[in-house]
A and B are shown apart, each in its own frame.
Chain A
Amino acid sequence: MKVETTAAVSIKNLKKVYGKSTIAADDVSLEIARGRITALLGPNGAGKTTTLKSILGIIRYQGEIAVLERDISDVRLKVSFVPEEKSFYDSLTLEKAFSMCAMILDEFDHAKARRFAETFDLPLKKRIRAFSHGMKTAAYLSIALSENADIFILDEPTWGLDPIRRDEVLDIIAEIASNGKTVLYTSHIIPEVERIAEVFSIMDKGRILYTGELTSLTEEFRVFEMPSVSPVLEKEKFEKELRRKDMVTVLSNDPSQWERVSSVEGVSSLDTDLQTFFHLLIRGNSHEI
């Protein structure tokens, strides 16, 4: 489904090959809508981080990428990034880290960073190397979210956070988007994505399998479960089928099929939530949607 908004990031035919044969991104085309939260979902090695690094120009790639309709080198100050590894200069105290950021980044709001540190209960006078994983993530977020950027690219932003802190971070991300900023966000945690993302893309093996709005998922798809011996499986062709022991879960995007299938004995209709949809897309058979 095409998202009808002006793109903050436009990716066309992105291809990235590591070495001679490891394809990390294979003809990826994606438009990240302005002022919205877009989640990029996928299993490990799907190509999410490669896509983010390509957007930021950290790696070389084939294809076209425009950020705010320009080359990334022209708009770097408008982009804030939280990498997968939340490694900051750990010999610094958080206070000195904020001061350093204020010196090297034109668009850094020192006061805002201090407020975030207070929200996340981070000690300003302690060296970052003494922080726990969760505190390091929170410290990195305090810095990245205090930049006056238009686009926030967050790679696993809640990594290592406890559930309470995670909720706080998700609320902050939602607030950023409500102020007109664009958020591109990767995660393995699907309930998180369901909570804040408006648009999502699912990636696997370097390819975008699906892009759409979270709210329209239930309108577009139905999920059914049936015994593996059900005659429906021979008569109908589904978009995805996932076999587990003696049961089969199927995904259908054909409304006329929904009527036929749901009336068959032994077939039950399941909620088309993101978790089920994600599993069917990644683990199901290889029919294209």
Chain B
Amino acid sequence: MRYKELYEMRMRVIVIFLIMIAGLTFLVAARPLAVSMMEEMYRDFDQIPEALQRLLGDPAMVQRLGDDSFYIVSQWQGNNLGQFLPIIVLLIAFPIFARETDKGTIFFLLSRINRSTVFWNKVLTGFFASLALIIVLSLLGPVFMRIGGYDATFGESFAIIVHQVISVALLYFLFTIFSIVFNDQIKPVITGIAVVLAMPFASLVDALSFINIYPYIMGESIINTGRIDWTYSVVLSLMAVGLLFVSYKLFEKKEF
């Protein structure tokens, strides 16, 4: 059954991979240009309005961007891959159950294979595919830099991968719930996009800022302090397990 799941998601995974590789290639090629552009942006930092200063972030970042390893970790793993991670996970998770329900093929599976087997095979195959995609894309950053002739190391890549693996788990199991609950393929996507868009807005309110996991996905604490945010990691991991449990129970009780 895992083969069937992989077969069905192969095109999505390949297309996502190729698009992200194109982005990575551009980022490596634009390395000299990107740094000079950043220096230009920060040149009159003291004169620009405070709101814009907050948007641009710490000017010390520009100095650090001179380091090839820091450049690729912050700009690729952090900014680009990190920002797209929720969408990548959504694209893999939303059809897991919703497509089978929508097309009526779920009857083929459920009449022949017990629910728990169907659930675990479908959920874990998609989960590990998402993980593999994110980990491989993360690690390809420094590799592409070296191919481009830069002196980049994996440096903090592995620490950010820890953040990203936990983020994948949390988001994947959340989107799995949408895929189970809805009987068509449109609603899980719309709901998933709404969640992804709502996260940054939550950070506008201090009390809700913990909902915005973008800084965590992008490895903000690792880039600033060099350390994994273990407290948040544990909380998010527990939430991911809770969501997995809820999705299993929902699937167990769902009528088709």
Residues of A participating in the B interface, judged by any CB pair closer than 8 Å: 53, 56-60, 73, 76-77, 79-81, 83, 85, 87-91, 100, 103-105, 147, 153
Contacts and interface: CB of A to CB of B under 8 A. Distances in A.
B245 interface: no
Contacts of B104: 83, 85, 87
A227 to B, nearest CB: 50
Q: Which of B104, B105, B112, B256 has the most CB of A within 10 A?
A: B112
If over half of B's interface residues share one DSSP class (helix, strand or loop), that class is named, otherwise mixed; here it is: helix
Given A79-B111, A81-B111, A87-B103, A104 B255 contact: no
A103 B4 contact: yes
B107 A76 contact: no
Nearest to A107: B112
A96 to B, nearest CB: 8
Contacts, number: 58
A88 B105 contact: yes
B230 interface: no
Given A76-B114, A100-B7, 17 more contacts: A58-B256, A59-B256, A81-B112, A83-B104, A83-B108, A85-B104, A87-B104, A88-B105, A88-B108, A100-B3, A100-B4, A103-B1, A103-B4, A104-B1, A104-B4, A104-B112, A105-B112
Interface string B87-121: 00000000000000001110110111110000000
B253 interface: yes
A76 B109 CA distance: 10
Nearest to B107: A83
B111 A83 contact: yes
A104 B113 contact: yes
Contacts of B256: 53, 58-59
Given A87-B103, A89-B105, A58 B4 contact: no
Contacts of A60: 253, 255
Contacts of A81: 107-108, 111-112
B110 A58 contact: yes
A60 B4 CA distance: 27
Contacts of B108: 81, 83, 87-88
Nearest to A90: B103
A88 B99 CA distance: 12
Contacts of A85: 104, 107
10 interchain residue pairs of minimum CB distance:
A87-B104, A81-B111, A83-B107, A85-B104, A59-B255, A104-B1, A56-B111, A73-B114, A87-B103, A58-B110
A60 to B, nearest CB: 6
A91 B256 CA distance: 22
A103 B3 contact: yes
Contacts of A105: 112
Contacts of B4: 89, 100, 103-104
A90 B256 CA distance: 20
Contacts of B114: 73, 76
25 contacts: A57-B110, A58-B107, A60-B253, A76-B111, A81-B108, A83-B104, A83-B107, A83-B108, A83-B111, A85-B104, A85-B107, A87-B103, A87-B105, A87-B107, A87-B108, A100-B3, A100-B7, A103-B1, A103-B3, A103-B4, A104-B1, A104-B4, A104-B112, A104-B113, A147-B112
Given A85-B104, A87-B103, A90-B103, A58 B111 contact: yes
Contacts of B107: 58, 81, 83, 85, 87
A58 B114 CA distance: 10
A182 to B, nearest CB: 15
A125 to B, nearest CB: 17
A112 B114 CA distance: 25
Contacts of B105: 87-89
B112 A58 contact: no
Contacts of A57: 110
A104 B4 CA distance: 8
A55 B121 CA distance: 24
Contacts of B253: 60
Nearest to B11: A91
B184 to A, nearest CB: 14
Interface in B1-23: 1, 3-4, 7-8
Nearest to B5: A104
A106 to B, nearest CB: 10
A85 B8 CA distance: 21
A105 B118 CA distance: 12
B24 to A, nearest CB: 29
Interface in B100-153: 103-105, 107-108, 110-114
Contacts of B111: 56, 58, 76, 79, 81, 83, 153
A78 to B, nearest CB: 10
A100 B103 CA distance: 17
A104 B114 CA distance: 12
Contacts of A104: 1, 3-4, 112-113
